[in-house]
Amino acid sequence: MPISTVLDATTRDLQLLDEEFTRCIRHRDPERLVELFYASDAQLQVPGRAPIFGRAAILAYFHQAFESGLIDLKLESNQYEAEHDLACAVGRYAKTVETHPGLLHTEEGKYTVVFRRQGDGHWRAIVDSFSSNS
């Protein structure tokens, strides 16, 4: 008999956010990505840069990332923790960028995202931090 795993509602909500994040990257839709994933007061911590604060600045970051060749992102969250209105996801990513026409570069790394349940009941990232393995 197969073993089935029942996910709690918070874990499932966070997994759906991961899936939507990836879908938005693949569809080159930074507006939807930022609206669905980040809280209004979120900060994005990117290697080699000062923290990026707020949706408008995060949106500008993703516009620039697409202009710089971002074409794909795979997320693999391997740990979810939640208590009350805070949750976090920890995992690995593989980001693919087209550096020149037809030339692809894939970077692997790790991330930690802290989420807060919003007044409407949805989870949104308040801190998103990632770094390359290289």
- Which domains does the chain show, CATH number per domain? 9-132 (3.10.450.50)
Answer whether residue 134 shows pLDDT above 70. Answer: yes
Mean pLDDT of 68-84: 94
Which residues, in sequence order, are CB contacts of 103 under 8 Å at separation 6+? Answer: none
Residue 7 has pLDDT above 60, yes or no: no
pLDDT (average), residues 64-84: 95
User: Quick one: CA dihedral 126, 74, 77, 45, positive or negative?
Assistant: negative
Q: Which helix (H) or strand (E) holds 66?
A: helix 55-67
Return the pLDDT at 8: 87
Whole-prediction pTM:
0.89
